[in-house]
Amino acid sequence: MSVHQPNIGEWYRIKGGDLFEVVAVDEGDDTIELQHFDGTVEEIELDDWNTRFSSGAIIEADAPEDWSGSADQDREDDRSGTSSYENDRRLNASDLDGIDLFE
């Protein structure tokens, strides 16, 4: 049986289906935590992983070019070059213009 040890950050595909990333490996419990592209998190047993991988049900895959599915980001934030946090911070800072804190 071919055994492939999953590493955190590696991407795989369920044959004919979902793309997912290994996000945690718990060697004490012999479990692997997977995060699917849509953000769903799943935990599977290492024995189940080995069975699926050796049968070809799980195959190695390249990381997606568009990570917005798993990262839950808005495309507009990515295109603007600034995050919504930076935009909010600029708006709040402008309210303090003209205040001299050292009087």
What is the average pLDDT across 77-91?
Answer: 49
Cα 41 from Cα 53, distance rounded (Å): 19
Residue 10 predicted with pLDDT over 80: yes
35 token code pair: 């995060």
So what's the pLDDT on residue 66?
A: 75
C-alpha dist (Å) from residue 86 to 80, 82, 89: 11, 6, 5
Return the minimum-mean-pLDDT range out of 12-26, 39-53, 89-103.
Answer: 89-103
So what's the pLDDT on residue 75?
A: 43
Strands (E), the chain: 11-14, 19-26, 31-36, 41-45, 58-61
Residue 60 predicted with pLDDT over 60: yes
Residue 78 predicted with pLDDT over 70: no
The residue type at 20: F
